[in-house]
Amino acid sequence: MWSYLPEYIFLLAPDLRILWHNHTLTLPEETAYCYEIIHGRQDPPAGCPAVRALEEERPVKAFMRAEGLDKDFYVSVVPIKKEDEVVALWHLAVEIPRDSSLEKDLLYHTYEIIGQLAAGLSHDIKNMLTAALGELQILSLLARDKPQLQRRYQKLTEILNKISFFAQKLCGLGNTRKEKELLNLSQVLKDLLPIIRALCPAHVKLKLEIEPAIGMIQFNRAMVEQIVLNIFLNALQAVQGKGKISIKTRQEEGFVVLTVEDDGVGIQSEVIKKIFDPYFTTKEEGSGLGLSMVKRFVEEAGGKIKVSSQEGVGSRFEVWFPTVK
State the DSSP string of 39-61.
H-SSSPPTT-HHHHHHHHTS-EE
For helices 221-239 and 185-199, what crossing angle results, to 10°? 40
Residue 118 has pLDDT above 80, yes or no: no
Structural domain count of the chain: 3
pLDDT computed for residue 247 by the predictor? 96
Which value, in Å, is the radius of gyration of the alpha carbons in the chain? 22
Q: What is the Cα–Cα distance from 307 to 167, expressed in whole angstroms?
A: 32
Which carries the bigger pLDDT value, residue 103 or residue 51? Answer: 51
The CATH number given to whatever domain includes residue 32 is: 3.30.450.20
User: What is the structure's pLDDT at 112?
Assistant: 54
Task: Provide mean pLDDT across the span 243-266.
Answer: 94
Least trusted range by pLDDT, from 60-69, 138-147, 169-178, 297-306: 169-178
Which phi and psi (to 5°) does residue 78 adopt? -120, 120
More confident residue, 234 or 25: 234
Proportion of the chain above pLDDT 90, given as a percent: 25
The residue-averaged pLDDT of 62-84 equals: 82
Q: What is the structure's pLDDT at 1? A: 38
Residues 245 and 216 in one domain: yes
Both 304 and 202 in one domain: the answer is yes
135 and 116 within one domain: yes
Kindly report the backbone phi and psi dihedral angles of residue 211, in degrees, each rounded to the nearest multiple of 5, phi listed first: -90, 115
Q: What is the mean pLDDT of residues 239-261?
A: 93
**pLDDT on residue 308:** 92
> Which whole number is the average pLDDT over 123-131?
62
- What pLDDT, on the 0 to 100 scale, is given for residue 81? 83
pLDDT given for residue 3 in this prediction? 41
Q: Are residues 81 and 126 in the same domain?
A: no
Q: Are 319 and 298 in contact (CB under 8 A)?
A: yes
Q: Poorest-confidence range of 71-75, 237-241, 250-254, 300-304?
A: 71-75
Per-residue pLDDT at 170 exceeds 90: no
pLDDT of residue 138: 67
Query: Taking residues 161-188, what's their average pLDDT?
Result: 70
Give the sheet arrangement for strand 314-322, strand by strand.
204-209, 243-252, 255-262, 314-322, 304-310
Looking at every residue in the chain, the average pLDDT score rounds to 78
Between 311 and 226, name the one with better pLDDT.
311
User: Does 110 lie in the same domain as 78?
Assistant: no
Query: Residue 321: pLDDT above 90?
Result: yes
- Domain around 142: 103-173
Share of the chain above pLDDT 70, in %: 66
Point out the domain boundary residue: 134, 156, 173.
173
Q: Report the b/e string of 269-308 with b at 16+ CB within 10 A.
A: eeebeebbeeeebeeeeebbbbbbbbbbbbeebebebebe
Check whether residue 187 and residue 68 sit in a common domain: no
In this structure, are strands 243-252 and 204-209 parallel, antiparallel, or unpaired?
parallel
Final residue before a domain boundary, out of 96, 122, 139: 96
pLDDT at 155 over 80: no
Do 10 and 28 lie in a common domain?
yes
pLDDT of residue 314: 93
User: Do residues 86 and 216 share a domain?
Assistant: no
- pLDDT exceeds 90 at position 140: no
Average pLDDT estimate for 245-259: 95
pLDDT, one tens digit per residue, over 3-61 is 434 467 888 999 999 888 776 566 666 678 888 888 888 999 888 999 999 998 888 88
How does residue 291 score in pLDDT terms, banded at 50, 70 and 90? confident
Domain edge (last residue) among 148, 173, 198: 173
Q: Hey, which residues does 272 pair with through a beta bridge?
A: none
pLDDT of residue 182: 93
